[in-house]
Structure 1
Amino acid sequence: MKKHDPVSRRQWFERMAIPAVALAGASLTGIPAVAAPAHTNDKATPLAGTSIYDIRDFGAKGDGQTLNTTAIQAAIDDCHQKQGGTVLIPAGDFICGTIEMKSGVTLHVATNGRLLGSKRREDYTAGKGVPSGNGNIVFIYAANAENITVEGNGTIDGNGLSFYNGKGDNTGPGQRGVGGNFDRPHLLIFSQCTRFQVKDVLLTNSAYHCFRILKCKHVQLHNIRIYNRVNKNNDGFHFNDTQYVHISGCDVQCQDDACALFGSNQFVTITNCSFSTRWSIFRFGGGEAQNITVSNCLIYDTYGCPVKISSGRARIENLSFSNIIMRNVTGPIGIGFTGSSNNPNNNNPAADTVPSFVRNISFNNIRATVVEKPVNHPDIHFGVNVFNGELNSCITLNGVGKVFLENISLTDVHVIYAGGGTKEQAAKRQVPELSAEYFGVWGTEPFGPPAYGLYARNVKGLTLQNVRFTYEKADARPAVIFDNVQDAIVTGLSAQGSPETELLRLVNSKDILFTAIRVLTPAATLLQVEGAATENIKIDGGDISKAAKPLAVEKGANKKAVTIRS
Structure 2
Amino acid sequence: MSGAFNILFLWLVVSISGFAQKSTGVWDVFATGAKGDGKILDTKAIQKAIDQCHAAGGGKVYLHNGQFLSGTIYLKNNVTLWVEAGATLLGSPKAAEFPDQPSEFPTYDEHPLTSKALIYAENVRNISIEGRGTIDGRGDLIDNRGPNDPYLRPSFKYRPRIIHVRGCENVQIKGVTLQNAASWVQTYQACKNLIIDGITVDSRENKDVENPNREHAVKHRNTDGMDLVDCEVVRVSNCFITSGDDGICLKSFSPDRACRNITISNCVVSSGASGIKIGTETAGRIEDVVVQNCTVFDTWGDGLAIMTVDGAQIRRVTFSDISLRNIKRSGIFIRLGTRNKKYGANTVVNKPVLQDVMISNVQGSRLASLGCSVTGLPDYPVENVLLRNLNLEFEGGITGVKSTPIPEKADAYPVGTMFGATLPAYGFYVRHARNMTFDQVQLRFANEDQRPAVVFDNTEELEIRGLKAQSAAQTPDLIRLINTRKTNIADSRPTSAVATFLSVYGSQSSAITLINNQLVLSKQTFFFETPSLKESVKESGTIQ
TM over 0.5: yes
Q: CA deviation at 1:40?
A: 3.0
Q: CA deviation at 1:126?
A: 2.0
Q: CA deviation at 1:209?
A: 0.8
CA gap 1:219/1:344 in 2 versus in 1, 3 angstroms: closer
Q: Residue type of the partner of 1:333? A: I
Runs of 5+ in structure 2 lacking a partner?
1-14, 146-153, 206-219, 253-257
CA gap 1:102/1:348 in 2 versus in 1, 3 angstroms: closer
Q: Residue type of the partner of 1:311? A: T
Q: Residue type of the partner of 1:432? A: E
- CA-atom RMSD, angstroms? 2.4
Residue 489 (structure 2) pairs with residue 514 (structure 1): yes
Matches within 5 A, 1:161-560: 161-165=140-144, 180-230=155-205, 231-263=220-252, 264-285=258-279, 286=282, 287-312=284-309, 313-329=311-327, 330-338=329-337, 340=338, 342-343=340-341, 355-372=351-368, 392-425=369-402, 427-434=403-410, 436-443=413-420, 447-500=421-474, 501-554=476-529, 558-560=533-535
Task: Provide the aligned length of Structure 1 versus Structure 2.
Answer: 488
CA gap 1:561/1:315 in 2 versus in 1, 3 angstroms: same
Separation of aligned partners in 1, 2:446 and 2:495: 13
Q: CA deviation at 1:163?
A: 1.7
- Deviations along 1:328-383, one digit per CA (max 9) or x if unpaired, are 11311111113x4534999999x56x5531000000100011344xxxxxxxxxxx
Separation of aligned partners in 2, 1:314 and 1:188: 25
Conserved in 1, the CA contact under 8 Å of 2:239 and 2:267?
Answer: yes
Could you say what secondary structure the match of 2:401 adopts? Answer: helix
Q: Residue type of the partner of 1:364? A: S
Q: Residue type of the partner of 1:411? A: R
Q: Which moved more, 1:306-315 or 1:59-68?
A: 306-315
Separation of aligned partners in 2, 1:124 and 1:345: 22
Q: Residue type of the partner of 1:331? A: S
Q: CA deviation at 1:193?
A: 0.5
Q: CA deviation at 1:413?
A: 0.5
CA gap 1:491/1:34 in 2 versus in 1, 3 angstroms: farther
Conserved in 2, the CA contact under 8 Å of 1:93 and 1:114?
Answer: yes
CA gap 1:409/1:112 in 2 versus in 1, 3 angstroms: same
Separation of aligned partners in 2, 1:557 and 1:292: 44
Conserved in 2, the CA contact under 8 Å of 1:531 and 1:556?
Answer: no
Separation of aligned partners in 2, 1:151 and 1:561: 62
CA gap 1:237/1:421 in 2 versus in 1, 3 angstroms: same
Conserved in 1, the CA contact under 8 Å of 2:406 and 2:419?
Answer: no
Matches within 5 A, 1:18-167: 37-38=19-20, 40-41=22-23, 51-127=25-101, 129=103, 131=105, 132-133=107-108, 134-165=113-144
Q: Residue type of the partner of 2:502? A: L
Separation of aligned partners in 1, 2:240 and 2:25: 31
Q: CA deviation at 1:422?
A: 2.6
Conserved in 2, the CA contact under 8 Å of 1:308 and 1:437?
Answer: no
- Deviations along 1:413-458, one digit per CA (max 9) or x if unpaired, are 1100011123335x23444343642434322xxx310100011111
Conserved in 2, the CA contact under 8 Å of 1:138 and 1:186?
Answer: yes
CA gap 1:556/1:210 in 2 versus in 1, 3 angstroms: farther
- Deviations along 1:57-103, one digit per CA (max 9) or x if unpaired, are 01101212111011000000000011011000012111111111111
CA gap 1:69/1:545 in 2 versus in 1, 3 angstroms: same
Conserved in 1, the CA contact under 8 Å of 2:331 and 2:371?
Answer: yes
Q: Which moved more, 1:121-130 or 1:518-527?
A: 121-130
Q: CA deviation at 1:252?
A: 0.2
Q: Residue type of the partner of 2:226? A: F
> Structure 1 vs Structure 2: percent identity of aligned residues?
29
CA gap 1:35/1:271 in 2 versus in 1, 3 angstroms: farther
Instruction: Give the structure-1-normalised TM-score.
Output: 0.82
Instruction: Give the structure-2-normalised TM-score.
Output: 0.85
Conserved in 2, the CA contact under 8 Å of 1:331 and 1:370?
Answer: no
Could you say what secondary structure the match of 2:158 adopts? Answer: coil
Separation of aligned partners in 2, 1:218 and 1:315: 22
Q: Which moved more, 1:466-475 or 1:434-443?
A: 434-443
Q: Residue type of the partner of 1:224? A: I
Q: Residue type of the partner of 2:227? A: H
Q: CA deviation at 1:403?
A: 1.6
Q: CA deviation at 1:165?
A: 4.3
Separation of aligned partners in 1, 2:202 and 2:531: 55
